[in-house]
Amino acid sequence: MGVARRTTLGSTRTRRKNGQQTAIAYHERLEKSDLLEIYRRLWFARIFDEALYDAKKKGRLRRGNVYGSRGQEAIQVGTTYPLRPDDFVSPIHRDMPVFVFRGMTPEQVMCQIWGKANAPTRGKDSWSHMGDMSLGIVHSTSMLGSTIAVACGVLWAQRLDGRRDRVLVAYTGEGATATGPFHEGLNFAAVHKLPLIVVVENNQYAYSTPVELEVPTETVADRAKGYGIPGYCIDGNDVLEVYNTTCAALEHARAGNGPVLIECVTYRLQGHADHDETRARQYRPVEEIELWEKRDPLPRYRQYLLKTGLFSEDELPEPPPDIVERIQKAIEYAISSPDPEPHTALEDIYDESAGVSR
Amino acid sequence: MREVTFLEAIRLAMWEEMERDPNVFIIGEDIGRMGGAFGVTTGFLERFGPDRVIDAPISETAIIAVAVGAAAAGKRGIAEMQFIDFISYGFDQVVNVAGTWLYRSGGKTPIPIVVRGPSGGYVGGSLYHSQQFEAWFFHTPGVKVVQPAFPDDAYGLMKAAIRDNNPVVFYEHKYLYRRIKGPIPDASEDYIVRLGEARIRRYGSDITVVTYGAMVHFALEAAQRLEKEGISLEVIDLRTIKPLDMETILESVRKTSKVLIVYEAPKTGGVGAEISARITEQAFEWLDAPIMRVAAKDAFVPFAEPLEKFVLPSVDDIVFAARELAAY
Amino acid sequence: MAVAVIMPELGESIVEGTIVRWLKQEGDSVQEDEPIVEIMTDKVNTELPAPASGVLQKILAPANATVKVGQELALIATASESAAATAEPPAAPAPVSAPPPVEAVGFYGGGEEPAPVATPAPAPAAPTRSDGQTRSATGQPFISPVVSKIAREHGISHEELLTIPGTGVGGRVTRKDIEAYIAQRKAAPKPAPAPAPAPAPQPVAAPQPAPATQPVAPREGEEIIPLVGMRKVIAEHLTKSYQTAVHVTTVIQVDVSKLVEFRERNKESFQQQYGVRLTYTPFFVKACTDALLEFPMMNATLQDDQIIVRHYVHMGVAVALGEQGEEGLIVPVIRDAHKKSLIDIARELEDIAKRARNKSISVAEVQGATFTLTNPGSYGALIGTPIINHPQTAILGTYAIVKQPIVVNDMIAIRPMMNLCLSYDHRLIDGMYAGRFLQRIKRAIESFEFFK
């Protein structure tokens, strides 16, 4: 027993040097309705995060961790907005809003978080470990990096179906780029020129481990050279830069040129999970956290919108109240949903519909 | 009927399934241009093309993961491990990704894959080319485990395993590949052997021998020798390790009241330990002697011949154990 | 309505913490989100915020107390009705201290939050079957399970077994030896001793000794049946029970109209949806189980001078064997009934009753009950004085449902009525406690809140 010790780290981390930048400003073809939708999605992601932290603190959510993604909203929105309905995504634990952006309802996501009988996993697995192949959302597990390798299989199936234009956007943290499966997956994808976009959310910390203890190169995007694929290192808190880079990557991949790695530099404003809030302010310098709070993607984008002259202040509420209400409703729905019956723990272990087994 | 080797039976099963279902594909090291380290996939690349016969890099994780991911998206993947020992590289994909996917998708996303490869010793393969660690996957929910001993079973079980909607780990004993020949049905018969059904390869009255893989042949040889001494062995070839066919086993136990379980893997914590426990639980009042096991010693399979012989079970080991059991 | 402050899960694998100090005292007003208590765990020192605004009514865990995740730490009285939290019992500790009073809520929490996962109470270990088959120090020969079984089935006594020539190790009798003996005996039959008509799986592990007295010659009009097997075991068990516990029986009458109506309306859909025949028994199991958690002395057992109070319920449900009940009574057990839903209980009941009747039930499944439910009503009895199933403390009998005129709101109404007869051990239980226990069950059945 004891209080967590304060660690001394190096100097306050600042943004990495940019790698390639996209030449084409794809965002210029966005209409006013698109710009507003992007704004609203950023807020959805923010409120989602806040509502869950609040529910956990108040004991309305008792079981399971909340992995906050505060400050990383621009990545979630910017990488999904340009996708087609039949593209795939493989989100991980800090990408919960992506599930909703790609077609799951907030109710489904909340039921999953609350471990209810009507959750996508029927209470069998937690948080982001869910999916829906019919929506193109690939299920994931806790085994970091494995999603990159599995993504190759999903894309191979598309190849067998003659659909080489369907892209898969796989999310990963900077720490997971150290794993074997990450390497084996990206290696395979590059060898076979699969349309795989790997989005590395470099939020600088894997739990308490800073990026310089995970990645030996100056940027994570430098790893791309090892696979002979393009690697971008961009400002992950600028939603339009993320959008533009994603559009460029999609073009590259759909043309059959193989995978692309996009490193979005951002910062994990909260702890690794809700139980880590106190420690996360001890193993990191508080000045560093405060510096990145000033780079919050939401006010940044709002200012940009106002500068375009297309929007008045009133058109950009902070937050949009209908979104707050929507998320609360989803939480209430989940709380009042039934718990799974105990005996269902033994269901769905085997699929015997092929009839070839006892 | 066609008379083929154990290896050829497996090859034909996969070929016929790939003909029958365009969703079936195979990925592994050296399986395309070379036709596989043992020649199991000879001719496949020419017939089915590089999209369905993938020469993979040395990445067992990726090999299995490609099969898994494609299965999640509606295909049927066969992932070859050049030696099944190398499955340890892709252990996570089998146990944590493939095995759990159905469970954590509300039953909506089955993963029909077969992870197959040559297993077992007696060929001087040493530590990493002789393993029989089927217990790892026997112990894992969501995964099935198969180990045939004869060509007809290898043929029928491979077809069934490919059609089954669950991850199946398929052990092909390399000692049997070219040494065993036997008849298999013609392709037109669409012959499959259902998983989870054991087969009595020799009927007897004194001792029930439960076994699988190469050990079936060892047990049959021991049975022939013991017949001359008036000891009659009933040899049950499990064929599928998981799901386990306890019905066949228990019926035999009720007949003989004496059980000898023979398995090539290290004794401790092996499949035989579970079978023994279940027989005690379900047929205690039918036992006339303790349930005995013949298995490999709790060691790795060493290189030098006298060492390998010492570690792995032999026909003599089975004969001696059976004699003791008969006299009990 | 009071809002509880609950100990949250402060970190992965954190199961408990210690209260360092309360930042607010009883009677203080608190605001939502205001820190009110400091908790220490081995990873984190944390201040917990108040879940609602109001007055800190009661501190349940004082400073230095160790608290488990999910445990109630304090109660906040709010001005308005708050649906944020309900009083939850703490995770089950070792069964020594009495539990805090639990509010009588509906049987199914419905729209409330899921209860925290209680650490499972230590279940009594199911003893492995022992027929006394070990080789004794005096060198008695070893009798294997199958030889013992064959001997039993052919009425071969232990003494006779010792006379059979053995070819096994140490001269033991093998299966082949006894089979050969039996075959040869058939060829030259000897007068057989008193048969032991016991079914293969016995509910109570007891050996079958030969009858101690010499067989008496029957007089005219008389028939001699030896007391052996299941009947003998039951006789011995009931004698012990009756001579140990001080039996008192008390009766209460229950209006089961809602129960009967529910069953009539739903038995078909139940069968379809759950594959289970809907009887009244699961409801009584549920009502009884809930009442036992509230009146744990009913669920206790007296061993020497110690009363062992159990906060878990293994419900024994008596099943009559044989077409006319002539094959005796067996009591299969629904383990951890307090954790099971009504449907689980209904399913399990159907299964174990079926297996009890076709004799494929195992020893473990008839052991370890903490309370017994019996149903003499199934053969029409109106009232009875059931005998307690030793070493339990009480037994509840449900009796025949009879339509009767009763007074409701000062008017005569015809209602289906059922008597519940509770026999209890007066050494541990007094009349009022028993009466309140019965009232609790009566209320549960009459208000019929099983599916809230």
> Which domain CATH number covers B296?
3.40.50.920
Question: In this predicted model, what pLDDT tens digit does every residue of C394-451 receive, in sequence order?
Answer: 999 999 999 999 998 899 999 999 999 999 999 999 999 999 999 999 999 999 887 7
Does the domain at residues C230-447 carry the CATH identifier 2.60.120.560? no
Say if residue C113 is exposed, middle or buried (CB neighbours under 10 Å; 0-12, 13-18, 19+). buried
**Number of other CB atoms surrounding residue B167 within 10 Å:** 34
Is residue A353 within 8 angstroms of chain B, CB to CB?
Answer: yes
Query: Do B168 and B29 sit in the same domain of this protein?
Result: yes
Mean pLDDT over C38-54 rounds to: 78
| Average pLDDT over chain C, rounded to an integer | 79
Mean pLDDT, rounded, for C36-64 = 83
Based on the fold, state whether residues B131 and B255 are members of the same structural domain.
no
pLDDT of residue C44: 57
3-class secondary structure for chain C? CEEEEECCCCCCCCCEEEEEEECCCCCCEECCCCEEEEEECCCCEEEEECCCCEEEEEECCCCCCEEECCCEEEEEECCCCCCCCCCCCCCCCCCCCCCCCCCCCCCCCCCCCCCCCCCCCCCCCCCCCCCCCCCCCCCCCCCCHHHHHHHHHCCCCHHHHHHCCCCCHHHCCCHHHHHHHHHHHHHCCCCCCCCCCCCCCCCCCCCCCCCCCCCCCCCCCCCCCCCCHHHHHHHHHHHHHHHHCCEEEEEEEEECHHHHHHHHHHHHHHHHHHCCCCCCHHHHHHHHHHHHHHCHHHHCEEECCEEECCCCCCEEECEECCCCCCCCEECCEECCHHHCCHHHHHHHHHHHHHHHHCCCCCHHHHCCCCEEEECHHHHCCCCCCCCCCCCCCEEEEEEEEEEEEEEECCEEEEEEEEEEEEEEECCCCCHHHHHHHHHHHHHHHHHCCCCC
What's the rounded Cα separation, in Å, for the pair B18 and B14? 6
In a domain, B11, yes or no: yes
What's the confidence (pLDDT) of residue C65?
Answer: 87
Higher pLDDT, A141 or C132: A141
CB contact under 8 A, B289 and C144: yes
- Listed by number, the residues of chain A in 102-131 with a beta carbon closer than 8 Å to a beta carbon of chain B are 119-122, 124-125, 129-131
The separation between CA C287 and the C-alpha centre of its own chain, rounded to angstroms, equals 13
Domain presence at residue B292: yes
- Cis peptide bond prior to C114, omega within 30° of 0: no
Nearest CA-CA partner of A333 in A117, A66, A71? A117
**CATH number of the structural domain A18-335:** 3.40.50.970
Give the containing element (helix H, strand E) for A264. strand A260-265
Cα distance between residue A144 and residue C369, in whole Å:
47
Owning domain of residue B252:
199-327
At A283, the amino acid letter reads Y
Residue extents of the structural domains in chain A: 18-335
Quote the pLDDT of residue C104: 35
CA distances A285 to A71, A207, C249, Å, are 17, 14, 73
Q: Which residues of A touch C14 (CB under 8 A)?
A: 275
ipTM exceeding the 0.95 mark: no
The helix/strand/coil state of A252 is helix
Radius of gyration of chain A (CA): 20
> CA-to-CA distance for A132 and B104, rounded, in angstroms?
11
Average pLDDT over residues C236-250: 92
* pLDDT at res. C224: 80
User: Of the candidates A132, A153, A155, which has its C-beta nearest B67's C-beta?
Assistant: A153
Confidence of residue C33 (pLDDT cuts 50, 70, 90): confident
Provide the pLDDT confidence category of residue C51 given band limits of 50, 70 and 90: confident
Catalytic residue among C154, C158, C237, C426: C426
pLDDT of residue C341 exceeding 60, the answer is yes
Asked whether A215 and A221 are in contact (CB, 8 A), the reply is no
Best to test chain B binding among C130, C133, C135, C146 (most B CBs inside 10 Å): C146
Of C9, C44, C111, the CB nearest to A4: C44
**Where a domain ends, among B142, B159, B189?**
B189
Residue B173: inside a domain, yes or no? yes
Domain boundary among the residues B167, B189, B211 is at B189
Write down the pLDDT at residue A4: 23
Q: Which 175-194 residues of chain B touch chain A by CB within 8 A?
A: 192, 194
Same domain, B71 and B106: yes
Query: Would you state the pLDDT for residue C1?
Result: 67
* Together in a domain, B66 and B9: yes
Pairing of strands C66-68, B144-146: unpaired
Q: What percent of chain C has pLDDT over 90?
A: 40
**What integer pLDDT is reported at residue C13 of this predicted model?**
58
Looking at residue A126, its amino acid is S
CB contact under 8 A, B72 and A122: no
Q: How many CB atoms lie within 10 A of CB C35?
A: 13
- Contact across the interface for A1 and C42, Cβ inside 8 Å: yes
Identify the pLDDT of residue C295: 95
Domains of chain C, by residue range, sit at 2-87, 140-204, 230-447
**Between C177 and C232, where is the model more confident?**
C177
Same fold: C2-87 with C230-447:
no
- Is residue C193's pLDDT more than 50? no
Smallest Cα distance from C128 to chain B, Å: 10
Buried b (16+ CB within 10 A) or exposed e, A10-41: eeebebbeebeebeeebbeebeeeebbebbbb
Residues of A in contact with B74 (CB under 8 A): 133, 157
C170 in contact with chain B, both atoms CB, cutoff 8 A: no
Low-confidence ranges of chain A (pLDDT < 50): 1-20
CATH of C2-87, one of 1.10.8.60, 3.90.420.10, 3.40.980.20, 2.40.50.100: 2.40.50.100
Q: What is the per-residue pLDDT for C444?
A: 94
Q: What total of structural domains would you count in chain B?
A: 2
Q: Which of residues 147-166 of A touch B (CB under 8 A)?
A: 149-160
Question: What pLDDT score does C42 carry?
Answer: 61
Same domain, residue pair B134 and B6: yes
Lowest-confidence region among A272-286, B244-258, C64-78, C320-334: C320-334
Cα angle for residues A95, A97, A100 (degrees, 5° grid) = 130
Question: Digits of tens for pLDDT over chain B (328 positions)?
Answer: 999 999 999 999 999 999 999 999 999 999 999 999 999 999 999 999 999 999 999 899 999 999 999 999 999 999 999 999 999 999 999 999 999 999 999 999 999 999 999 999 999 888 889 999 999 999 999 999 999 999 999 999 999 999 999 999 999 999 999 999 999 999 999 999 999 999 999 999 999 999 999 999 999 999 999 999 999 999 999 999 999 999 999 999 999 999 999 999 999 999 999 999 999 999 999 999 999 999 999 999 988 888 899 999 999 999 999 999 999 9
Rounded CA gap, A12 and A293, in Å?
13
Measured between alpha carbons, how far is C322 from C329 in angstroms, rounded to an integer?
A: 9
Does residue B319 sit within a domain? yes
pLDDT at position A18 is 42
Query: What pLDDT was estimated at residue C207?
Result: 42
C209 touches chain B (CB under 8 A): no
Residue C426: active-site member: yes
Q: Which pLDDT belongs to residue C95?
A: 40
Q: Tell me if B283 is assigned to some domain.
A: yes
Pairs of residues, one from chain A and one from chain C, whose beta carbons lie less than 8 Å apart: 62
Chain C residue with CA closest to B289: the answer is C144
